[in-house]
Structure 1
Amino acid sequence: MRIVVTNCNTTQEMTEEIVRGARAAAGPGTTVLGLTPAWGPESAEGWLDSYLSAAAVIDTLRRYDGPRYDAVVMAGFGEHGREGVRELVDVPVVDITEAAAHLACLLGRRYGVVTTLERSCGQIEDSLELAGVGRNCAAVVGTGLGVLELEDGERTESAFLAAAERARDAGAEVLVLGCAGMTGLQRVVGEKLGVPVVDGVAAAVKLAESLVALGLTTSRTGGYAKPLPKRRAWGAASA
């Protein structure tokens, strides 16, 4: 089985970190291939970045000419493009935001998301609502760190723990890592927090493997049906 993991930004070092986390979660026989968009934001941190990122990721998959793959994992927490990719490709598409929230709902009544900048919180809330898992979210809390600042492990851990306390105070029984760049942090902070911590990359990889093993993929009835061929624009001259 081959899973393609798409980074939502152009930072190759982050793609490599995400792929390491994905490979650690993958089962025997699963190959993980990371894709980095050739254009778009260096780090996706806001509405404009997110829309640009969505177009760049979709463009990357449209132009992909490598080995056949069995599933796509979208490694951008709260980013746009999920629905477009599901319409584009003919394999299961699992978004880390949705995957992490679904698994969190199996572990506790309410979960909290700890993410990067506060400006990303509203976007994440919208993504959770669209995925149908927003009602179980107790809080989305920012650490105040930008995506590219997550390389400082000690600083990230400290900021995460402080934000996690706020999420627990709001009623969260389970915590979710709200950025693909936080992959691996769950092992460090889980015991200190005393609550389950879900990593979206790992969650998405395991769900993708399950869908492939069960022979399931995106429904083509309704919202994700393949679009009809484009009609000639009004007023265009006849051939």
Structure 2
Amino acid sequence: MSIIVINPNSNEAVTQGLREALAPFPKTECITLNSGPFGIENQADSDSVILPMLEVIKSRQDASAFVIACYSDPGLEAAREASPVPVFGIQETGVTTAMCRADMFGVISIGEASIPRHRRYMRRMGVLHRLAGDCALNMSVDETARGADTFARLITVGNTLIADGAESLILGCAGMAKHRAPLEAELGVPVIDPTQAAVAMALGTVFASHF
């Protein structure tokens, strides 16, 4: 069994952060889409990775499941059409997990430009009535993965969302993965790393298929 986690940007620091966040999970392999943009920060970036990512998916016939580790879930429907095994998007899975933990959830996004894209997706999911808010760090993908000030900014934005009624929070970028546990301890509400949530669901799906 092998769960292939695809970072569709070309920033290896993000992929390494995913490896560290997913270390407790068995049978996972994190890979970088080297042809992707350095960070996926707008719709054009998101759309640009779909075709090369599909080629990776088609080439990995050893996979038991795939996780697309970008909060925009780029190419999720196309990947599901192309793959004979389950494919999980981290936004879809993160939102589902957050709603299992609380009535109202909030999203911490990397930048203001991400918020309309997230809201369009959640509108299609039919869950906007459960969204307390979506607030931006106003940082790049790379800064969320490496920046010294990222955690302090996460606390500020997280508290804003809690004040707006959020009872659980989603980290709206794979680059934030390493901050999940300390942020949850600091804020006192469930904090969802969507890649961890997607890998957990992928593992459960694959295990269940054997019984």
- TM-score of the superposed pair, with normalisation by structure 2: 0.93
Kindly report which structure 2 residues correspond to 1:81-92, keeping only aligned pairs within 5 A, or say none: 81-92=75-86
1:120 aligns with 2:118: no
Q: 1:195 is matched with which residue?
A: 189
Q: Does 1:102 align with 2:135?
A: no
1:54 and 2:50 are equivalent in the alignment = yes
Question: Deviation of residue 214 (structure 1)?
Answer: 1.6
* Secondary structure at 2:175 match in 1: helix
The residue correspondences of 1:128-139 to structure 2 (distance < 5 A) are: 128-139=122-133
Structure 1 letter corresponding to 2:9:
N
How far residue 153 of structure 1 moved from its aligned partner, in angstroms, is 5.0
User: 1:132 Cα deviation (Å)?
Assistant: 3.7
**Separation in 1 of the partners of 2:195 and 2:146?**
20
Distance 1:166 1:101 in 2: 19
Measured after TM superposition, the shift of residue 192 of structure 1 is 1.4
CA distance, structure 2, for counterparts of residue 104 and residue 144 of structure 1:
22
CA contact (8 A) 1:38 1:60 kept: no
**Offset of 1:35 from its aligned partner?**
2.3
CA contact (8 A) 1:190 1:197 kept: yes
Alpha-carbon RMSD across the aligned residues, in angstroms, is 1.7
Residue 167 of structure 1, CA deviation? 1.2
The match for 1:225 is none
Q: Distance between the aligned counterparts of 1:78 and 1:151, measured in 2?
A: 17
| 1:224 aligned partner | none
User: Over residues 26-57 of structure 1, what are the superposed CA-to-partner deviations in whole Å (9 max), with x where a residue is unaligned?
Assistant: 1xxx3212222231211100011110022332
Q: 1:161 and 2:169 equivalent?
A: no
Contact 2:21–2:178 (8 Å) recurs in 1: yes
Residue 152 of structure 2 aligns to a residue in which SS?
helix
- Structure 2: any 5+ residue segments left out of the alignment? none
2:30 aligned partner: 34
C-alpha distance in 1, partners of 2:83/2:145?
A: 32
> Within 2, Cα distance between the matches of 1:131 and 1:22?
26
**Alpha-carbon separation, structure 1, partners of 2:204 and 2:13:** 28
Distance in 2 between residues matched to 1:82 and 1:134, nearest whole Å: 20
Tell me which residue corresponds to 2:199: 205
Taking only the aligned residue pairs, the percentage that are identical comes to: 27
Query: Which one-letter code corresponds to 1:20 in the other structure?
Result: E
Q: What amino acid is the match of 1:106?
A: C
CA distance in structure 2 between the aligned counterparts of 1:152 and 1:36, rounded to whole angstroms: 17
- Structure 2 SS opposite 1:151: helix
Q: Tell me which protein shows more helix as a share of its residues.
A: 2
CA contact under 8 A between 2:108 and 2:134: conserved in structure 1? yes
Contact 1:8–1:36, Cα closer than 8 Å, also in 2: yes
Paired residues in the alignment total: 210
Q: Give the AA of the match of 2:5.
A: V
Matching residue of 1:8: 8
d(CA) in 2 for partners of 1:94, 1:206:
10
Q: Which AA in structure 2 matches 1:5?
A: V
Q: Residue type of the partner of 2:11?
A: T
